[in-house]
Amino acid sequence: MQPLSVQLYTVRDALAADRDGVLRRIAGLGYGAVEPYDPMTDPKGFRQVADDLGLTVSSTHAYALLSREPQEVFEAIATIGTDLVIIPGGIAEEEFTTRDGLARVADRLNGLAAQAAAHGMRLGYHNHWWEIEPRIDGRHALEALADLLEPEVFLEVDTYWAQVGGADVPALLRGLADRVLALHVKDGPGVKGEPHTAVGGGVMPVPAILAAAPGAWRIVELDTCAGDVFEALADSRSYLSSLGVS
């Protein structure tokens, strides 16, 4: 099993002030991997610090692929050291409400996936609630989208937003099966607009979720946090360790 990872958006404010110190702190909490959300900022320096700390780069989000020259984005991603590239949104929510919209989304993602493959990488997509709430022929839009994606395009399922969007998350994961290569493992009250909690401190059925996607990379994220975010990361690590996640 891959080492437990942290989506660095969780610590975005601290990261902007002291990147190296934040990465040291994350490694000190026992996390073995990180998932950047901006691979374009000093990729060489980031890779050096991560390597020095023994941190694996599990994957990276890459909004930049939707707006910048793909070649420079893929070069930066190669430098930070991962081959899993994830589009974390940035596509109009309305596109997920119709079959035609989903076809346009799939065409865009499939095209980017072909470019990623030319660089030895795989492209994935990360959901929020708006890919879950709409129903297309009785299925969650994300499920309908998966049918339109080329086999090499994977999903990073944000388990919290999937539940907020109305999904039975373990069932969703079982249905998507091998399409899911990564999970955002997060917790909280399960409603929009409220701060998240440490994993294990909210309403999410975390053990069932992990069991439904045994091979997927586990990546902890808190979009917002009412208390100290590093304490929440430490508590998340402890809880997941109790479930056998390394």
Quote the longest CA-to-CA distance of the chain.
50
* N-term to C-term CA, the chain: 8
Q: Measured between alpha carbons, how far is 142 from 154 in angstroms, rounded to an integer?
A: 12
Predicted pLDDT at 56:
98
What integer is the mean pLDDT of 38-61?
98
Confidence of residue 59 (pLDDT cuts 50, 70, 90): very high
Q: What is the mean pLDDT of the chain?
A: 97
Cβ(91)–Cβ(128) under 8 Å? Answer: no
Closest of 62, 87, 55, 56 to residue 77, by C-alpha: 62
Say what percent of the chain tops pLDDT 90.
98
What integer is the mean pLDDT of 91-107?
98
Q: What is the pLDDT of residues 166-193, one digit of tens each?
A: 999 999 999 999 999 999 999 999 999 9
* pLDDT score of 1 more than 80: no
Confidence of residue 53 (pLDDT cuts 50, 70, 90): very high
Confidence of residue 117 (pLDDT cuts 50, 70, 90): very high
DSSP letters, 196-213, are BB-TTSSS--HHHHHHHS
User: Which residues have a Cβ under 8 Å from the Cβ of 43 and sit 6 or more positions away?
Assistant: 76, 77, 79, 80
Q: What is the pLDDT of residues 6-40, one digit of tens each?
A: 999 999 999 999 999 999 999 999 999 999 999 99
Query: What is the pTM (predicted TM-score) of this model?
Result: 0.97
